Chain A
């Protein structure tokens, strides 16, 4: 075990901005010392073993059935533990991992182009703008090759070459081809692989599946996570489930922005409830904004749809040079009146700059009034992604072969033909790098509560590289968690508790009270209207560009909105039946608390890093400016109580192998 040297100063007493206080730093992440390529092996060896005969006496609850949760449930089931798996959807196969399009990275070096575990590690640390842990990222790169082997063995139909071997492509601006893919449906195919492995364990009796169940509270007994309270969404029954350990793999919280590429049901409730029970929340403000989404068409919009950023390989991004050209037919705007702004500002990377830069520049040109498409509010929020040159260069058939399904999807949603008219795109919230703080074992600050996949904060730092989310989800679920959780379970089975235990009764009562409260307010405003308003505030002040003034304003607005929510929300229907308004209300209530913490986190981080541009921290020519000497740490937030202020715990990030550099794509 290592104790990292602390560079941060001793915590200042009292409240900062009147909003938060600073607590003791986190000094031990449980990552072993030594050469970085030996650490994971060391940890696996040191982790205690559980006798196969004892495994079935040990139970694990897993919330979420996406890549991380599904893979973990299947793997722990195979190992012989008694697993209870929960998802809010009607089937584990619907988890939102399914929507990932592009691909999954793995350091296989099948293309012999100089890839290696070390290079994937290096690229991921750099891509995360030096805000992730070296040990974790190295482990991720290390298991990446096993993931591909595992998925192929399960029958995942990856794209292949004519010789029958797996195909790779280069993705997200990296210079090696290490991305495995299944057309535009990689996430779907990987998830179905994990789902089938999970269903196999359901048939074998090792996993009990609870679909259409939503976790509403975590049960903590004597400081350890021992179970959850869940609501059966069909009957409305509030159920208690007890176990020796709890895993949260409930995904990200991008829906705090209302409009995002997340699924309608994606929510923060599982992790937020755990946060309130003592789990620290890591880097909540780290949100990824994806540059190539279909723009908002009007107020009715319920979600945004992403198009794979592979489109940027052949499409050119531009806006008119003059604002008065913005409502013209783009085909009538002559070449000299177009501003191919990415090619102009970043001549060497051009349209292939990283996601955060592409997104922020799109926002900039739209803020200048040069956006295109319909006006939403006062601005046109869209830029052209033009395939005209590619169509001239490649032929329509070749373009269709490569991008056909994406272009068809665009046409279906917008009603415009991208083979004739340039597409319009705009950035949208896509992924949250932040999440519950976990140590090297993926264990949160509540012993026995593990967090995997997008729900934890761990591997992507301040910005996630393309094709890394699938890698992390499956890496956590198949290869990391099953090893680390056994070290914890080896200490079990823990003292038997029953439903009359004080902690269980308390958790249940709080859930019952909350449900009853939501149904009894009977005010004037729908849940969706609150959600939309929160989303607007978050997008405006805690989106791509943040400033102290804006964030302080946002915190005020959110507090007012939260207050109104609990006085004036209108939730119809009963508690003892399928009630989708009630489900939404519970989720929005938690978003209203999370939103404030995100703004506080964003406020305290006075640097531009990753996808987060802080207006007060920029270079002379308007590029993002990081401050490594002050902010090279993980911000882990402790719940400060219903009326208290959150407490910031800093975990310093120490770079032994990768040298910190300012990113430059000029």
Chain B
């Protein structure tokens, strides 16, 4: 169960890194970004229909998400079942605070994900003022000119960073890759790097847009 959690989590790590790489294309201009969006759909077209790869990929992601969330829920309910009479007084160590944040951070990220997909993938509603029909790049720019959208994203990215930091470390432990002091130190470093790179990497485009560094035209 924990392994499922770790493996599905690891998949997300790779996904968010790729996603971030795509997002950063906005710095090369709206066209580059649109091209990238289009490329995702035309990848492997000789073998797969238009958008086929993307759909396969989405399927995999959904499966991973279900697995990740389900194992989280399973572990959580098992933990509840393992202590049906609770302590009157229980002092939580620092480690527990982090871990509890995993749980609630995870739920927050899930909510954010729903919003994020509605906004950019499923409904593609535009809360901004720019016309953005058929250009994902323009839609992105238009949205992030609104301050509270950026705020939501930044908060979500903080949650993501923390989730990744503890998650990546925890996964190395679960997969048995942190068996000695040096390996543990490496795992911690890796976790920190991934967490910082991802959250900063994702935060750059919206902030750049908000502060007018990247403009739609």
Q: Do chains A and B touch in the complex (CB under 8 A)?
A: no
> Which residue numbers of A lie inside 8 Å of B, CB to CB?
none
